[in-house]
Amino acid sequence: MVVKGLEFRIDRRSGVAAYQQIVQQTKQALRLGVLGPGDQLPTAKSVAQTSAVNPNTTLKAYRELEREGLVEARPGLGTFVRQSLARPQAPVDSLLRGELESWMDRAREAGLEQDDVTALVTSVMEERYAGTGPAADHAGPTGPVEPAGPQHQQ
């Protein structure tokens, strides 16, 4: 099935290359379950039409997703999702989410601004996840592992 709702939002001001933004947004859609196995990604032509993004940019992003084993190109048909990144343990997620929500409430009561919270979360995450790839925990045991290392954003 073609996912009609998937539209890429490209931030032209950010230092992140447009194709990387498409890769990230596709992965996000895979994690959230917006995209599932067998779904077709929008064609480079339709992304060009709706978002005025260069078709080579979209194809470059799809090739990267293909290298990671997440999608496959079927010649003449389009690009399709092979593998989901959604995690099966929804109850754990919601438990973790609940804990994070109450932690966030406490942070807010303590007077932390949004930026303070982001900085704190990022620094703890970098410490605890040191040595693992950013998406390594999302893929299954046989799944692809993203190259580790800090993404240079901004």
Residues of this chain that interact with another protein (CB under 8 A) are 10, 12-15, 17-19, 43-46, 48-57, 59-60, 73, 75-76, 152, 154
Q: How far is the CB of 60 from another protein (least distance, A)?
A: 8
**Angle value at C-alpha 152, between 86 and 116, nearest 5 degrees:** 80
Tokens of 107: 């942070």
DSSP class of residue 2? B
Indicate the residue among 8 and 138 with the shorter CB distance to another protein.
8
Indicate the residue among 51 and 143 with the shorter CB distance to another protein.
51
Q: How far is the CB of 119 from another protein (least distance, A)?
A: 15
Q: How far is the CB of 50 from another protein (least distance, A)?
A: 6
Q: What is the dihedral of CA 53, 59, 62, 66, to 10 degrees?
A: -170
Indicate the residue among 80 and 86 with the shorter CB distance to another protein.
80
Q: Where are the alpha helices (DSSP H) in 41-143?
A: 44-51, 55-67, 90-109, 114-128
